[in-house]
Chains A and B, each alone.
Chain A
């Protein structure tokens, strides 16, 4: 270990704002050659923003970056890569129609005179892929590769460069067990070669295995930094979340002890996303779903609703098996689903507000032609009930603010008069006031005897609203927490796979 060495890359007092929102506050970070530095934090803590600044994808609002003691102001990722600072992305950034080999050398093709030196590139490419122990054919089109193979190509792309600082943003999210082992072996070799590695992950087990040094961010601030030795996983989990819950949330409605089960999912399997998950939902209950992004929560729920295929599993509504093959079947069972992607899946942005409101249950406004008066009336009721604030003359959904779009979407799914409401990330990107309204609305629903499934990456939301919290990690439902168990520390442990049933068994399988 070479902790006494001079830092290769050092960041000082990095701040970054997006508009009026400051997301990073005076962050210091040193990367030393031959050391794996782990960066930890909840969703939205500012990890991705920070590494984007280090690798030139974003510029800092203020602060300095030094490489080998010299100040650097990267204006693009190309400049950082020329310095040997390379990032492997969380979202894959590959050209789908090109081959693996073409992707690996994209933008820095080897040439002989005017022409591409395909032979040399193939050679280098084979070496890199061999080092990663994958069977990826350099000539295979990226589109045809599995997600984990694509991730391997992304890694090969990074290591074929003359890399001095390697930044990995959740590289193992899509990898198989074996591939993770290969990656860790590779990391060990790179470390021996004196590469400085910055490693972002939610998975504390991984961090514990490979990190020499660790830095924790929370809400854009540096909370803790130091050697991994002497820091336990549990302590780190506490540092990541440790904040008090405010009285943002209304009191939970009392749940009758004999409340019947209204929805049950048994042994749901979604290929590539969910392994054998089962849960129940009772009348008047809020069931939270926690876990990191990509843990399989949305896949599980959408497979249940008939929005994506599942390879096994059974759904029971009020104790009776039901076949939900299309979202329309779920609507008939009076289950409403509020998607997390309100712009991409929730609202037709270039359509008017009224057609958007009635789209899910248009049948109710037809006799048999569409009755515009009834639509208009429903629209006014929705404005009242959900407090949608219209800017003057807003003609299309795109013209509404995020919070009002969310309320319109909520009004839309409520047109079916549901008994079960499934809400996915209800407060992503909306202001505090609207959040508060949505929380109270959830409470009203349960008061009225509806049941709610709440998928959220905001820990405080889960804790503040849920009667029970189901936690998922890497496609496995690791546990359902109740009562005293529902706290950030516990949820984080289940979400990162430290605790919970079946994680190890599933992985080995």
Chain B
């Protein structure tokens, strides 16, 4: 606890490291981008950049939801399976609606609506079970993670659920299209980030998340409805997962038991790289955005070079996560007495 709080005597010294903490993720992102350019000038090409940002949008949107959950002292491991499950249900629903409404906008809007509703409900369940059942978030979401994963496998009967071709043609632009030259997934990512930023830093809800994550007892004694706020963070997470799924479905037009595997860990990694404290009490939306982009960028750079095998993507990501957190902690340690 002491090390988190800068000591009074070292204010002057910790001022510098405090800035480093805020800007650290951005500096790391710049360094990584520079490395990319040095390895292959094509890295900075507009196509490559927009491609990379588009692919980081899934994890990014989910990670913004995770920032709220983690800031309020929780954890959600179920997001990857939840995405797969929502994708599966969405495809089945839209396929069956084709008969009634045809492969039109109505079908897709109903699919999107169902997806959002499903995300909200799934988050609500995670939240209620953790708060009312007084079970650790890790355990609850580990459970729901298994449930959603097996449900989607069951729905797909062990195979793959494919979206009706007619619907697919109309739905396609949501992933592949762009507005004023910016891919739609990137726009959604940006929008979610801006809304998330305002919510976390400028509203009561966000302030309560910080307080609950720092010290749940203090929050309770400050007349905050702790259980309600925590459940809301999981619901927000569910909506973020639904949004990511809505963008993901038109990409491949299918869902299976292998959809969204390990997304939960990538999302948590993005949050942590961004400087949010895993045990809660401190969260940063822009850091999370940078973290999500960095994770995709690593894979992208490895694609552009032959120096390191593409199969080592996970290794490099792992090292970067550990180094990022080490650097954050190190700057705290310095300011301890």
Contacts and interface: CB of A to CB of B under 8 A. Distances in A.
A369 to B, nearest CB: 4
A355 B215 contact: no
A67 to B, nearest CB: 38
Interface stretch (A162-170, A207-215, A343-351, A381-389): A343-351
Contacts of A328: 223-225
Contacts, number: 86
Contacts of B282: 350
B204 to A, nearest CB: 5
A330 B204 CA distance: 19
Interface in A200-237: none
Given A359-B222, A370-B203, A399 B8 contact: yes
Contact of B222 (A360, A370, A398): A360
A363 B223 CA distance: 12
A286 B202 CA distance: 39
Contact of A345 (B1, B221, B224): B221
A393 B7 CA distance: 11
Contacts of B5: 349-350, 396, 398-399
B203 A344 contact: no
B1 A327 contact: no
Contacts of A73: none
Given A348-B215, A359-B222, A391 B198 contact: no
Nearest to A361: B223
Nearest to A359: B222
Given A326-B225, A327-B221, A349 B1 contact: yes
A350 B281 contact: yes
Which residue, B203, B220, B222, has most C-beta atoms of chain A within 10 A? B222
B330 interface: no
Contacts of B194: none
B60 interface: no
Contact of B202 (A330, A339, A370, A395): A370
B4 interface: yes
Which residue, B215, B223, B281, has most C-beta atoms of chain A within 10 A? B223
Interface string B199-236: 00011100110110011011111111100000000000
A397 B106 CA distance: 54
A350 B215 CA distance: 9
B211 A359 contact: yes
Given A359-B207, A362-B207, A345 B214 contact: no
B8 A391 contact: yes
Nearest to A399: B8
A346 B204 contact: no
Contacts of B203: 366, 368-370
A350 B281 CA distance: 8
B207 A355 contact: yes
B221 A346 contact: yes
A307 interface: yes
Interface bracket on B: 20 to 34
Contact of A360 (B4, B217, B223, B281): B223
Which residue, A331, A391, A396, A398, has most C-beta atoms of chain B within 10 A? A398
Nearest to A339: B221
A501 interface: no
Interface residues of A, number: 35
Contacts of A360: 222-223
A368 B211 CA distance: 19
B6 interface: yes
B49 interface: no
Contacts of B217: 341, 344-345
Nearest to A371: B202
A379 interface: no
Interface string A448-488: 00000000000000000000000000000000000000000
A396 B5 CA distance: 7
Given A330-B223, A399-B8, A344 B215 contact: yes
A490 B1 CA distance: 44
A394 B7 CA distance: 9
A396 B224 CA distance: 20
B8 A346 contact: no
A74 interface: no
Contacts of A369: 198, 202-203
B135 interface: no
Contacts of B252: none
B34 interface: no
Contacts of B221: 307, 327, 337, 339, 345-346
Interface in B1-54: 1, 4-8, 11
Contacts of A341: 217
A429 to B, nearest CB: 18
Contacts of A394: 8
Contacts of A344: 215, 217-218
Contacts of A366: 203-204
A348 B204 CA distance: 15
Nearest to B201: A370
B115 to A, nearest CB: 28
Contacts of B198: 369
A381 B7 CA distance: 26
A422 to B, nearest CB: 12
Contacts of B4: 350
A327 B211 contact: no
A351 B222 CA distance: 14
Contacts of B1: 349-350
A350 B211 CA distance: 9
Contacts of B7: 399
A394 B1 CA distance: 17
B80 to A, nearest CB: 31
Contacts of B225: 326, 328
13 contacts: A307-B221, A327-B221, A327-B222, A328-B224, A337-B221, A339-B221, A344-B215, A344-B218, A345-B217, A359-B207, A370-B204, A396-B6, A399-B7
